Amino acid sequence: MQGNDQLGATLDDVVILEQTVEPWIILRRMVLVPSLQLILIVCLVMQMMVLFEKAFMALSSWYGRFLGPRPHRIYKCDPIEEDEELGSLAYPLVLVQIPMYNEKEVYQLSIGAACSLTWPADRLIVQVLDDSTDPVTKVLVEQECQKWRKKGINVKYETRKDRAGYKAGNLKEGMKHEYVQHCEYLAIFDADFQPEPDFLMKTVPFLVHNPRLGLVQARWKFVNPGESLMTTIQRMTLDYHFKIEQESGSSMFSFFGFNGTAGVWRISAMIEAGGWKDRTTVEDMDLAIRANLKGWKFVYVPDVKVKSELPGTLKTYRKQQHRWMCGAANLFRKMWKEILFNKGASFWWKFYLLYDFFFARKIGSHLVNFSLYNVVIPVAVLVPEINLPVWIVAYLPTIMTLLTATENPRLIHIIPFSVLFENVISMHRMKSTLIGLFEAARVNEWVVTEKSGGATNTKTPTPDSQILRRPSFISVNRINLSEIGFAAFLLFCATCDLLYGDDYYFVYMYLQSISFVVVGVGYVGK
């Protein structure tokens, strides 16, 4: 009799358990599974769009590099001929702008490099646009300008009352001075950029001999790529940008996004396009698109390289990425109608700008990278009804990674670290992209990228020596709670897949979880 009572109690417990679990089963079958399948399909479609876009750019770049004519064959760029009668007047008047804000560490480098450019002294104006709020820095910058002025260089030290419009406002204000009206071309260098003396000699002739060229863009070269594993990964990403994105745009369409520095503009093209606008944090891209819609062509010259500094700390890098990603998405929001209803552009050109340049490259890639590999795949392993083919988890990202890595074969051993780190940063890129699209808080936040300046004077260690380097301590200020929380989520999903799954996706999720922890405790960068 007692045994029957125990059996009855056990059956009652089973019934209660079934009644408790059944709603979850129904909810999962009716809501969760269809929703997750739909999200997975959307992510895969977007990922395929990004993949085709990357493949197209890679093929275009390789064709232009190995089979197609180089820039100096497409455009005439013969050196400016000397004329005994005209003398230095044979050279056009060039304005060099250096916008800066509290750049105490690097102001001497940029001003010194600009003042050392090989160009007739009476045909060159170096304009230092100082927005510094630190009085000591302002005094130092002004003294540096006076030093070069005594050496015979026409250096203009300009300030303004406030920082309205940030960099765009600073550049726009600089163009209002009377002496600028006599200049034909404008070279721009951020405060940490150091052009070689022959920079103008190699770039300005493109504009002199080709009246429809509006912009000549040089390539960035980095002084601290081996400072840490993070800067090495940045180098890989930016090398891909210049060697693939910029080169393919230049060779196939005579258009690409201006990088905001290390370039030379035809001032008349800038004026026709409407000049600098401070409506987003990517004033350079804004100006480039408006100039292109007016019919101006651009050329990227990969052989001309300008030294610059990569962000050395995680905080600085994240701020820079926010400015770039948020600004591009916000510019799309502000310009899509202007592009779509532009009467001078063809249908296919509008399609290229809206789909390829903006949606696939500036928006879709940032949304799908985080959503698919950090959210959808980990959640899907918890739902047995969702089938995750191995090509989604392994083959597709491998192809995309290899397309990026082809430009840095010597850094092939860094690729695993690069993939894991980029997946972590994709969380912030997606957030910044959404802020730009919906014009949420911080949409116009402008934080100047901090520079150290010391990296140019010291021998940088190799990336391998940085992988195991430990910081002296982990400060509370270095803790990033969002990364720590996401690491816990991935750890849970990986453990469930290890215990109950029949695949090996947990290996990836464990590694990605560790990466989130490493970034979460500030264990990257300097």
Is the pLDDT at 493 greater than 70? The verdict is yes
- CB–CB of 442/326 below 8 Å? yes
| pLDDT tier, 474 (very low <50, low <70, confident <90, very high otherwise) | low
* The residue to which tokens 């977007």 are assigned: 46
- pLDDT tens digits, one per residue of 158-179: 999 999 999 999 999 999 999 9
pLDDT for 456 equals 45
Which of 20-29, 159-168, 475-484 tops mean pLDDT? Answer: 159-168
| pLDDT tier, 454 (very low <50, low <70, confident <90, very high otherwise) | low
Q: From CA 84, how far away is CA 87, in angstroms rounded?
A: 5
Both tokens of 522, joined, read 């500030």
Q: List strand residue ranges (DSSP E) for 131-268, in order.
A: 155-158, 185-188, 213-222, 263-266
pLDDT for 373 equals 92
Q: From CA 398, how far away is CA 47, in angstroms rounded?
A: 13
- Out of 192, 284, 356, 497, pick the active-site residue: 284
Is the pLDDT at 457 greater than 70? The verdict is no
| pLDDT tier, 359 (very low <50, low <70, confident <90, very high otherwise) | very high
- How many residues in the chain? 526
Among residues of the chain, what percentage have pLDDT more than 70? 91
Taking the model in full, what pTM does it have? 0.90
The dihedral over CA atoms of 428, 494, 313, 477, expressed in degrees to the nearest 10, equals 90
Please indicate whether residue 283 or residue 393 has the higher confidence score (pLDDT). Answer: 283
pLDDT for 16 equals 60
Give the mean model confidence (pLDDT) for residues 10-15: 56
- pLDDT tens digits, one per residue of 294-337: 999 999 999 999 999 999 999 999 999 999 999 999 999 999 99
Lowest-pLDDT choice from 195-209, 244-258, 381-395, 419-433? 381-395
Is 122 marked active-site? no
| pLDDT tier, 386 (very low <50, low <70, confident <90, very high otherwise) | confident
- Out of 130, 131, 192, 497, pick the active-site residue: 131
φ and ψ of 105, to 5 deg: -80, -25
Is the pLDDT at 8 greater than 80? The verdict is no
For every residue of 370-435, DSSP letters joined together read HIIIIIIHHHHTT-TTS---HIIIIIHHHHHHHHHHTT-GGGGGGHHHHHHHHHHHHHHHHHHHHH
Is the pLDDT at 290 greater than 90? The verdict is yes
Is 5 marked active-site? no
Sheet with strand 155-158: strands edge to edge: 155-158, 124-130, 94-100, 185-188, 263-266, 213-222, 297-308
Which of 9-13, 94-98, 474-478 tops mean pLDDT? Answer: 94-98
CA nearest to 359, candidates 340, 379, 384: 340
Crossing angle between the packed helical segments 396-405 and 415-438, to the nearest 10 degrees:
100
